[in-house]
Amino acid sequence: MEEPAKVFSLKGESGSKKKSEDGDLSNISSSKNLVESDRKPASRDRVPFIKRTDKFVFVVGVLNLILLVYMTAGIQWLLPYYYTVTIIPLIIVRYVTYIKGKRYAYFILDFCYWANISLLIYLWAAPYLNEAGVGKHAFAIIYAITFGPLPWAIIIFRNAMVFHSLDKIISVFIHITPMLVTFSIRWHAPVSHNATHVANNPRLQIWEEYWNGLGRFNVCELNDSCWTEQWAYLFYLAPAIAFIVWDIFYVLATRVCCPIPENAVDAFRYLSKKIKPLYFLRDMKNQKLAYFLYNLINIGMNIFMCVPGPLLYWNYYINLIFVLLVFICCIWNGGDFYIEVFAKRYQEQVKSRSKERAERIEKLRSRSASPRSRALQLRSRSRNEIAKNKVAPSADIPTC
C-alpha cells in the first residue's frame, strides 16, 4: 500500500518540477521577447529618422535660396543682416563637423573662410572706416575678393545646390552669399551724390533709411579718385597682398606648427587628384617641391580670378549676368549630382548612417539593459540546474 503513495508523490514532485521548469522557460522566453521588442522599434526607425532629417535640411535649403533671391531683388537692405545672423552658426557647424571627422579639418583654414570673416568685419566696422576716410577703399577690396576666388571656387570645387545635404548647402552659402551682399551694397546702397544707375529708383528711396542700420556704406563710385586713380591697387595689388599673407599663414599652420597627417586631406591633396592640369604635382617624387609649386600656382590663380573685378564693378548688367551664371553653375552641378550620383549614393549613405546610429543605440542599450541581461543569465543557469537535478523514475516502480 506504500508503493502507490510513493508513486503518487514522485509523480507530483516531478510534475511540480516540470511546472516550475516550464515557468522558468516561459519567463526566459518572455524576457527575450521583451529585449527583442525593445530592439525592433529602433531598427525600424533608423532609416525613417535619417530621411526625415534630410527632408528637414532640404526644406531649409530651399527656403534659404528663396530668401536670398528675394532679398537680392527686393529688400537689399536686409541682406547684410541676414548674412550676419546666418554665416556665424554655419561656420560653427562646419568647424565642428570637420574637426570631429579630422580628415577634412584643414579645409577650415582655406581662404574662403577668411574672406567671409573679412566681409563680416567690414559690415560692422563700416561706420568707423568711413570716419577714418578709408570706407570706400575697404569696400572696393572686399568687392574684389568676393567676386574673385569665392565664386570661381564654385567651379573648381564643383559646389552644387543639393538641398538635402547640409554640408553642400554650407559650401554654396559661404561661396555665393558674400558675392550677393557686396552686389547689393554696390548697386543698391544709398550714396551721397546718387551716382549709381539706381539712384532715382522709387523703391530705393523707400528703403533708404533702413541702410543706416549698419552705417551708410561709402561706395567707391566711378567719378571718385579711388576709382580713377587707384583702381589697380584696390582690385589687384591689395587682394594679392591678402592672398600672400594668407598663404604664408596657411603654410606655417599646416606644414610647420601642425603638420597635416597622412590620412588627412587639404586643398593641395584634393586638387592634385581631382584637377587634370595639376596631376603632375601628385606624380612628382619631391612632394615638398610640388607643394611649393602649388602655392605659387594658387596665388597666381587667385590674382587671375580678380581680373574681371573692375569690369563687373563698372557695369551693373555685366555684374548681374555674372551673378546669374554663378547661380546657373550651382544649379547645374546640383542637377548633375541628383541625376548621376544621388540615386546610388544616397541609398549607400542611408545604410551606412543607419548602421552607425544602430551601433550608438546598441552601446546605450548595453549600458542601460545590463541588469536585464544579468537576469537572463541567472534564469538560464537555474534552468541548467533544474535539468541536472531532475529525478528519473525508478525501474521497479510500476507505470501505467
The mean of the pLDDT values for the chain is 78
Measured CA to CA in angstroms, residue 367 lies from 28, 194, 360, 363, 375 at distances of 20, 69, 11, 7, 14
Residue 216 has pLDDT above 90, yes or no: no
Which pLDDT score, from 0 to 100, does residue 375 have? 64
CB-based contact 7:397 (threshold 8 Å) = yes
Q: How confident is the model at residue 105 (pLDDT cuts 50, 70, 90)?
A: confident
Rg of the chain taking only CA atoms, in angstroms: 34
Whether the pLDDT of residue 38 is over 70: the answer is: no
Per-residue model confidence (pLDDT) at position 390: 52
Give CA–CA dist 286/163, Å, rounded.
41
* Residue found by looking up cell 570631429 in the block: 100
Confidence grade of residue 100 (pLDDT, cut at 50, 70, 90): confident
pLDDT tens string 186-197: 988 765 434 444
CA atoms within 13 A on the CB side of 400: 4
Interacting residues of 20 by C-beta distance below 8 A, sequence separation 6+:
386
Share of the chain above pLDDT 90, in %: 34
**Does residue 262 have a pLDDT over 60?**
yes
Q: List the chain domain ranges.
A: 76-342
Residue 294 pLDDT > 90: yes
Long-range contacts of 370-376 (CB under 8 A, 24+ apart): 372/31, 372/34, 372/35, 373/35, 375/31, 376/28, 376/31, 376/32, 376/35
4-34 residue pLDDT tens: 444 434 444 444 444 444 454 444 444 444 4
- pLDDT above 80 for 203: no
Count Cβ atoms below 10 Å from residue 46 Cβ, excluding itself: 19
254 pLDDT more than 60? yes
